[in-house]
């Protein structure tokens, strides 16, 4: 049975197309830099917004019409959602999806019952994956919605809650592995604080590291291969989240000897909440070999919260893809649409318009980035800007052959540094525009 009989699988129709439910730029099999667009982009659809989003906000209830969903917490309802979800994944031609344990299966009255629900649903997910070829990009445990996590999960003051969280991640790792998930994500929803007067930050961070080491040990034990990914976000729901941005995450991972096991899952709206651009976060993670995956969305720069909108801005997607290509592409990661339709876009078909637009925006961004790289004008400029480091005194400093005394002697002899050259920002911005 079909839940969207009026919608055909979305096809590539070319840039001239006026069909809103066709791709104008995403041509999955087309090769760019020797790799298909499908392999470059590895699009993924999220279960939480697409299947569980209702359109509620702090001022009013949900508005979304979802005829297949009876709003109950029953297993039947959850199983029906699986059917619908895979029809959406397939019709969008998306190769991957991602979920939290609690998006796909309902929490029961005890951990045992909750795990049994998860087993039932995950065997249906497995069947649907096998039938359709859609794969799991990553799994994650929701350790922020239930009231037990009010003080945090791995960083809670309540040791029993830490134990519950450990059991939950253990189970979710097993399910992720059973479903062939290619990564496992930690977003620290409530891993942070509201007030330092009641917080032992050192103890909380030590516990967080313990938790991650336990996850690493268990992954080794069951043979889970995929990298762990931490998803930085500076605030919301807490006032301060420990994983606030790429640099903070990497500092934490390095301090606690976790670098070999973790990469980052970077999200655009989280980057902007942290006061960075997404390109900055990608480049920062990339230069440290920690670029794992992206949650592709966008925020509203006039609003200070995580609006999780679908990306449509070619500048943004081109900058993302430029940084991703520069650092060797997404390996086990993907372009995961952690994005939701607006509360006013309440019809099922809006889910299709939203994803088609997001996929196309990233496909266009990939093409733009590849064009920029092919002509190499910007790369050449950067290379030349740093040429004083390629020979002479610069090369010696880089090679560790100079020190303060020798540099003083060099400058006393020379008297003044060589003249500076223009950074040409405006020219480079104009050059970037050539490709848009």
Q: Which residues are catalytic?
A: 100, 103
- 174 vs 231, which CB is nearer to ligand XLS? 231
Cα-based distances in Å from 210 to 9, 162, 181, 203, 219: 46, 10, 23, 11, 14
To ligand XLS, the closest distance from the beta carbon of 345 in angstroms equals: 19
| Nearest residue to 340 via CA among 242, 235, 269, 252 | 269
CA distance 104 to 118: 8
Residue 338 as a binder of Ni ion (CB under 5 A): the answer is yes
To ligand XLS, the closest distance from the beta carbon of 362 in angstroms equals: 17
Out of ligand XLS, Ni ion, none, what residue 204 binds, judged by CB under 5 to 8 A for its kind, is none
Out of ligand XLS, Ni ion, none, what residue 319 binds, judged by CB under 5 to 8 A for its kind, is none
Out of ligand XLS, Ni ion, none, what residue 140 binds, judged by CB under 5 to 8 A for its kind, is ligand XLS
- 48 vs 435, which CB is nearer to ligand XLS? 48
Q: Dump the DSSP string for 138-177.
A: EEE---SSSGGGTT-STT-S-HHHHHHHHHHHHHHHHHHH
- What residue number has its CB nearest to ligand XLS? 187
Instruction: Give the angle subtended at the CA of 147 by the CAs of 77 and 306, to the nearest 5°.
Output: 80
- 266 vs 366, which CB is nearer to ligand XLS? 266
CA distance 132 to 378: 42
To Ni ion, the closest distance from the beta carbon of 123 in angstroms equals: 26
Instruction: Give burial (CB, 10 Å; 0-12/13-18/19+) of 376.
Output: exposed
Two structure tokens written together for 356: 């088609």
Helix axes 425-435, 348-375, angle to 10 degrees: 120
Q: Is 232 left (phi over 0), alpha (psi -120 to 50) or beta?
A: beta
Residue 103 as a binder of Ni ion (CB under 5 A): the answer is no
To Ni ion, the closest distance from the beta carbon of 295 in angstroms equals: 4
Instruction: Give the contacts of 85 (CB within 8 A, at least 6 positions apart).
Output: 45, 47, 50, 51, 97, 128
CA distance 249 to 91: 36
Out of ligand XLS, Ni ion, none, what residue 340 binds, judged by CB under 5 to 8 A for its kind, is none
Q: Which stretch binds Ni ion (CB under 5 A): 196-204, 288-296, 377-385, 423-431?
A: 288-296
Whether the bond into 77 is cis, omega within 30 of 0: no
To Ni ion, the closest distance from the beta carbon of 307 in angstroms equals: 9
- 140 vs 298, which CB is nearer to ligand XLS? 140
- 267 vs 281, which CB is nearer to Ni ion? 267
Write each residue from 232 to 271 as x if it is in contact with Ni ion (CB under 5 A), else as -, in one continuous string: -----------------------------------x----
CA distance 55 to 348: 12
- 50 vs 177, which CB is nearer to ligand XLS? 50
To ligand XLS, the closest distance from the beta carbon of 110 in angstroms equals: 24
Out of ligand XLS, Ni ion, none, what residue 154 binds, judged by CB under 5 to 8 A for its kind, is none
Two structure tokens written together for 40: 């470059």
Residue 295 as a binder of Ni ion (CB under 5 A): the answer is yes
To ligand XLS, the closest distance from the beta carbon of 45 in angstroms equals: 13
Cα-based distances in Å from 196 to 98, 148, 160, 312, 363: 34, 20, 22, 39, 44
Pairing relation of β-strands 335-337 and 43-46? parallel
Q: Which residues bind ligand XLS (CB under 6 A)?
A: 100, 140, 185, 187, 231, 233, 267, 295, 306, 338
- 46 vs 369, which CB is nearer to ligand XLS? 46
For the chain, the helix, strand and coil percentages under 3-state DSSP, each to the nearest 5: 50, 10, 40
Q: Which stretch binds Ni ion (CB under 5 A): 278-286, 294-302, 343-351, 410-418?
A: 294-302
Cα-based distances in Å from 97 to 129, 132, 253, 380, 430: 10, 12, 27, 38, 37
Out of Ni ion, ligand XLS, none, what residue 93 binds, judged by CB under 5 to 8 A for its kind, is none
Write each residue from 296 to 335 as x if it is in contact with Ni ion (CB under 5 A), else as -, in one continuous string: ----------x-----------------------------
**Binding-site ranges for Ni ion (CB under 5 A):** 267, 295, 306, 338
């Amino acid at each position: 049975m079909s839940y969207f009989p009026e919608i055909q699988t979305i096809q590539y129709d070319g840039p001239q197309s006026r069909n809103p439910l066709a791709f104008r730029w995403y041509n999955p099999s087309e090769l760019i830099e020797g790799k298909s667009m499908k392999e470059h982009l590895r699009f993924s659809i999220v279960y939480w917004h697409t299947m569980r989003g209702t359109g509620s906000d702090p001022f009013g209830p949900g508005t979304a019409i979802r005829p297949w969903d009876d709003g109950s917490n029953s297993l039947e309802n959850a199983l029906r959602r699986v059917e619908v979800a895979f029809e959406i994944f397939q019709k969008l031609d998306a190769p991957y999806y991602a979920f939290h344990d609690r998006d796909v299966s309902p929490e029961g009255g005890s951990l045992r019952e909750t795990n049994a629900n998860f087993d039932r649903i995950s065997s249906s997910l497995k069947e649907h994956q096998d039938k359709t070829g859609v794969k799991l990009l990553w799994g994650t445990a929701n350790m922020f919605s239930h009231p037990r996590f009010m003080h945090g999960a791995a960083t809670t003051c309540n040791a029993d809650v830490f134990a519950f969280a450990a059991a939950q991640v253990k189970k979710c790792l097993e399910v992720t592995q059973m479903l062939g998930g290619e990564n496992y994500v930690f977003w620290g929803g409530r891993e942070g604080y509201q007030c330092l007067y009641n917080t032992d930050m050192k103890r909380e961070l030590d516990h967080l590291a313990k938790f991650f080491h336990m996850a690493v040990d268990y992954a080794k034990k069951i043979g889970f291969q995929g990298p762990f990914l931490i998803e930085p976000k500076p605030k919301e729901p807490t006032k301060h989240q420990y994983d606030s941005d790429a640099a903070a995450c990497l500092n934490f991972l390095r301090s606690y000897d976790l670098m070999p096991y973790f990469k980052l899952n970077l999200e655009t709206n989280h980057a902007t909440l942290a006061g960075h651009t997404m390109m900055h976060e990608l480049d920062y993670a990339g230069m440290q070999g920690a670029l794992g995956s992206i949650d592709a969305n966008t925020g509203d720069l006039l609003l200070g919260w995580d609006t999780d909108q679908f990306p449509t801005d070619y500048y943004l997607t081109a900058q993302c893809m430029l940084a991703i290509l520069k650092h060797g592409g997404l390996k086990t990661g993907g372009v995961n649409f952690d994005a939701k339709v607006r509360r006013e876009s309440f019809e099922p078909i809006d889910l299709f318009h939203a994803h088609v637009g997001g996929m196309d925006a990233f496909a266009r961004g990939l093409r733009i980035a590849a064009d920029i790289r092919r002509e190499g004008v910007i790369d050449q400029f950067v290379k030349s800007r740093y040429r004083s480091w390629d020979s002479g005194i610069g090369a010696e400093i880089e090679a560790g052959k100079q020190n303060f005394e020798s540099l003083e002697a060099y400058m006393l002899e020379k008297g003044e540094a060589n003249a500076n050259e223009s950074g040409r920002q405006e020219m480079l911005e104009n050059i970037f525009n050539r490709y848009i």
